[in-house]
């Protein structure tokens, strides 16, 4: 009994969906082509502005001064700050190692120390915390 009711219910639901879709198609056909062109142009324009805003890196403030007191109180070394600077650019461990002239294992060790000293887990959280403490622009 339940199986039959379920089948009839699904069939009725599908029929209603098909009728709504056919009604939608009739509505869509009644609109002029210019409406679609304008809607697509507005959509892509908004998408382009959003993507440009989100993907364009912002230049650091020209008058940035690193909070040396915070760095000293946390016990961050100069090399750990260098690694933190590179983390903020989104560089991988290998890229950081290549730029600093050390091994990737050394970079991993520095990153682990930075996480520990900042009390965070993860690159994004480390960079966010460093920015809040004015260790990064």
Domain parsing of the chain, residue ranges: 2-55, 68-132
Residue 12 pLDDT class (50, 70, 90 cuts): confident
How far is it, in rounded angstroms, from Cα 80 to Cα 83? 5
Write down the architecture of domain 68-132 according to CATH.
Orthogonal Bundle (1.10)
pLDDT of residue 17: 87
**Structure confidence by residue, pLDDT tens digits, 106-129:** 999 999 999 999 999 999 999 999
* Residues 14-26, mean pLDDT to the nearest whole number: 79
- Which position has the higher pLDDT, 7 or 95? 95
Q: What is the pTM for the complete model shown? A: 0.55
Provide CB contacts within 8 A for 93, sequence distance 6+: 104, 107, 108, 111
């Amino acid at each position: 009994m339940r199986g039959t009711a379920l089948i009839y219910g699904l069939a009725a639901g599908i029929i209603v969906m098909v009728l709504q879709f056919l009604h939608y198609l009739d509505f869509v056909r009644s609109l002029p082509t210019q409406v679609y062109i304008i809607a697509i142009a507005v959509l892509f324009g908004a998408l382009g502005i959003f993507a440009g805003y989100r993907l364009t890196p912002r230049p650091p403030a020209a008058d940035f001064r690193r909070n040396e007191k915070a760095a000293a109180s946390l016990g961050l070394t100069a090399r750990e700050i260098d690694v933190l600077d590179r983390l903020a650019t989104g560089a991988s461990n290998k890229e950081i190692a290549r730029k600093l002239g050390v091994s990737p294992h050394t970079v991993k060790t520095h990153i682990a120390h930075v996480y520990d000293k900042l009390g965070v887990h993860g690159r994004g959280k480390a960079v966010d915390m460093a920015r809040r403490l004015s260790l990064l622009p």
